C-alpha cells in the first residue's frame, strides 16, 4: 500500500455492447445483448439499457431473451473489440510506461511513473477526469469508469463504485472505512465457495473479517489464502503494476490428417484440450480471463474466436464449456483440420474462487449437439457486410433463405433496412482492411 493514491484502474463500460452501439447508430440508447446467439449461447455482455431488465454477463441467451425480448441480440465482432482495446491501451501507455492490461477493456496504470509531478488527491482527480475524456475521444464515444487508490485492490474496487461513466478517487487513509461495510466477495479470490466458508463462521463483511486473527484465518482457509485475506481485509496490498507478463497465454492444439466434420468429435477434442490447458495453468499457479479457440478450415482459413470472463479461471470445465460455445457459433460444415484451445489474459493472483469445487466440475457431460446445416455462408446477427450499391451495413437477422441488413456505420445516421436472398452475389461479409484476427495464417509449407 502506497502513501499516495497513485494506482489507477480503468474499465470500459459495457464494452462489447458499447462498441456495437458506436458502430450501429440505430442501437444507441437501446438494449443490446452481445454473446452466443445459438441454442446454448451465453451472454458476453449487455448494454446498460438491457441490464435494467436483469440481463447479465454469463446468463444463458435464452434467459436474456425471456427477460428482454426487444433487445438486439448480436453475435459479436472480435476485430472491432480488439481494435478499440488497442486504441485505449495505446492512450494509457502514452500516460505512463507502466500499464498492466487485465483484459481487453481493463488495465492498471501506475501514476507514480506518469509525468504528474504531484500525486495529491485533487491532482490525480483532475488527471483521471482528463484521461476519461481522452478515452471517449480515442474510441469514438465509449465511456470508461476509473478508480484511483493506494493499491491495485483499492483502485479496482473504486472503479466499480460509480459505474458507468464514473470516477472514484479513494483518499489515502480512508481505505478501511470504504471496505468495512462491503461484502467479503469484494476481495479478489473470494468467490461463492470461500464466501460460504466464511459465512458459516459468521463472517459477511470486510469488517467481520477484520475481527478474525491471522492464525484463525490460516486455520480456516489454509496458509496462502489465510495470509492473503488477512492482509487484504486491512487494505494491505503491495502488488506492483507489471507492464509485461512473462507467459502471455497457454494453449494446446492438434492437427488432423482427415478433415473433421463431426461436431461431437470436435467438442470432445476441445474438451480434452481444455483439460490439458487447465493442467498447465494449475502447474504454474496461473489463471486467465480470455479463452480462445483456433479452428483451421479445410481451405486453410484460420479462425480465432475468444471470449473473456469476468474473472480469471483455471477450471477445465469452464474452459471447455466456453471453447465449445465458441465453436457453436462457427460454420465448420466444410471440415476442420486443426483445433486448438488457449487461455490468455493471465493473472497470478485473482482466482474465480479459492475453493472452487473443481473435482466435481471435471465430470461434466458433453452437451447434446446439433448437426449443422450445410450453408455456403453464415450471416451472424451483427456482422459487418457490404452491398455493391447500398454500401456498408450489418446483419439484422436471417432465416428462410433471406438476410436482412441495416445500412449504417459509426459515421452515418441510423440507416435503412433491406432484405436480400442469402446467396445474393451483391452482398458480402466486410472485414476491416488491416484485420488479421479472423483470417490469415498461411498454409503450412
Ligand atoms: N465478457 C464476456 N463474458 C463475461 C464477462 C465479460 O465475454 N462473462 C466480455 C464482454 C465485456 C468485456 O468482456 O464487454 C468486458 O468485461 P467487463 O466485466 O468489464 O464487462 P463490461 O465492460 O461489459 O461491463 P461493465 O460496464 O460492468 O464493465
Ligand atoms: Mg468493462
Return the CATH number at 280. 3.30.1490.100
| 395 inside domain | no
Query: Of 361, 377, 412, which closes a domain?
Result: 361
pLDDT at 211: 95
How far apart are the C-alpha atoms of 228 and 218, rounded to whole Å?
9
Distance 386 CA to ligand 1 centre (A): 28
Evaluate: CB of 164 within 6 angstroms of ligand 1: yes
Domain that holds residue 181: 177-233
Evaluate: CB of 95 within 6 angstroms of ligand 1: no
pLDDT at 377: 67
- Whether 264 and 353 share a structural domain: yes
- Per-residue pLDDT tens over the stretch 6-40: 999 999 999 999 999 999 999 999 999 998 887 77
Distance 383 CA to ligand 1 centre (A): 19
- Per-residue pLDDT tens over the stretch 49-77: 999 999 998 899 999 999 999 999 998 88
Distance 347 CA to ligand 2 centre (A): 17
The total number of structural domains in the chain stands at: 2
Pairing assessment for the beta strands 167-169 and 144-149 based on DSSP bridges: parallel
- Is 238 assigned to a binding site? no
pLDDT at 369: 36
- Is 94 assigned to a binding site? no
Q: Which of 32, 105, 108, 312 to mutate to test the pocket of ligand 1 (most atoms within 8 A of CB)?
A: 105
Q: Extract the residue ranges of the chain whose pLDDT is less than 70.
A: 244-247, 348-377, 434-445
pLDDT at 308: 85
| Atom of ligand 1 minimally distant from the CA of 106 | 19
pLDDT at 82: 85
pLDDT at 387: 97
272 with 325: CB under 8 angstroms?
Answer: no
Q: Based on the residue annotation, tell me whether 106 is a catalytic residue of this protein.
A: yes
- Whether 262 and 222 share a structural domain: no
- Whether 186 and 287 share a structural domain: no
What does the buried/exposed string (b/e) look like for 52-89 if buried means 16 or more CB atoms within 10 Å of the residue's CB?
ebebbbebebeebbebbeebbbbbbbbebbebbbebbb
Amino acid at each position: 500500500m502506497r502513501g499516495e493514491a497513485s494506482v489507477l484502474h480503468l474499465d470500459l463500460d459495457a464494452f462489447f455492447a458499447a462498441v456495437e452501439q458506436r458502430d450501429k447508430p440505430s442501437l444507441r440508447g437501446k438494449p443490446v445483448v452481445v454473446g452466443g446467439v445459438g441454442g446454448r449461447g451465453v451472454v458476453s455482455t449487455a448494454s446498460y439499457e438491457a441490464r435494467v431488465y436483469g440481463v447479465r454477463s454469463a446468463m444463458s441467451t435464452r434467459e436474456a431473451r425471456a427477460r428482454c425480448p426487444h433487445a438486439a441480440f448480436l453475435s459479436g465482432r472480435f476485430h472491432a473489440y480488439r481494435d478499440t482495446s488497442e486504441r485505449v491501451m495505446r492512450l494509457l501507455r502514452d500516460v505512463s510506461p507502466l500499464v498492466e492490461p487485465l483484459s481487453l477493456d481493463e488495465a492498471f496504470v501506475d501514476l507514480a511513473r506518469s509525468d504528474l509531478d504531484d500525486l495529491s488527491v485533487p491532482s490525480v482527480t483532475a488527471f483521471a477526469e482528463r484521461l476519461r475524456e481522452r478515452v471517449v475521444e480515442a474510441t469514438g464515444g465509449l465511456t470508461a469508469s476509473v478508480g484511483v487508490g493506494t493499491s491495485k485492490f483499492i483502485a479496482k474496487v473504486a472503479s466499480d463504485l460509480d459505474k458507468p461513466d464514473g470516477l472514484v478517487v479513494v483518499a489515502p487513509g480512508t481505505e478501511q472505512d470504504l471496505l468495512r461495510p462491503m461484502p467479503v466477495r469484494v476481495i479478489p479470490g473470494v468467490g461463492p465457495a470461500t464466501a460460504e466458508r466464511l459465512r458459516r463462521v459468521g463472517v459477511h463483511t470486510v469488517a467481520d473479517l477484520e475481527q478474525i486473527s491471522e492464525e484463525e484465518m490460516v486455520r480456516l482457509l489454509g496458509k496462502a489464502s489465510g495470509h492473503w485475506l488477512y492482509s487484504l481485509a486491512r487494505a494491505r496490498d503491495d502488488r506492483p503494476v507489471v507492464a509485461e507478463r512473462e507467459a502471455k497465454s497457454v494453449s494446446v492444439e492438434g492437427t488432423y490428417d482427415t478433415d473433421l466434420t463431426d461436431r461431437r468429435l470436435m467438442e470432445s477434442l476441445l474438451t480434452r484440450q481444455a483439460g490439458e490447458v487447465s493442467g498447465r495453468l494449475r502447474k504454474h499457479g496461473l489463471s486467465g480471463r480470455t479463452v480462445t479457440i483456433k479452428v483451421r478450415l479445410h481451405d486453410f482459413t484460420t479462425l480465432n474466436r475468444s471470449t473473456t470472463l469476468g474473472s480469471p479461471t483455471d477450471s477445465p470445465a469452464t474452459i471447455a464449456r466456453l471453447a465449445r460455445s465458441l465453436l457453436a457459433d462457427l460454420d465448420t460444415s466444410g471440415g476442420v483440420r486443426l483445433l486448438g484451445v488457449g487461455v490468455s489474459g493471465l493473472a497470478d493472483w485473482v482466482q474465480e474462487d479459492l475453493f472452487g469445487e473443481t473435482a466435481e466440475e471435471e465430470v461434466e457431460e458433453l452437451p447434446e449437439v446439433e448437426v449443422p446445416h450445410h450453408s455456403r455462408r453464415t450471416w451472424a446477427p451483427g456482422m459487418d457486410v457490404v452491398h455493391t450499391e447500398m454500401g456498408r451495413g450489418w446483419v439484422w437477422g436471417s432465416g428462410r433463405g433471406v438476410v436482412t441488413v441495416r445500412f449504417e456505420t459509426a459515421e452515418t445516421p441510423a440507416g435503412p433496412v433491406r432484405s436480400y436472398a442469402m446467396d445474393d452475389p451483391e452482398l458480402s461479409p466486410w472485414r476491416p482492411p488491416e484485420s488479421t484476427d479472423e483470417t490469415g495464417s498461411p498454409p503450412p509449407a
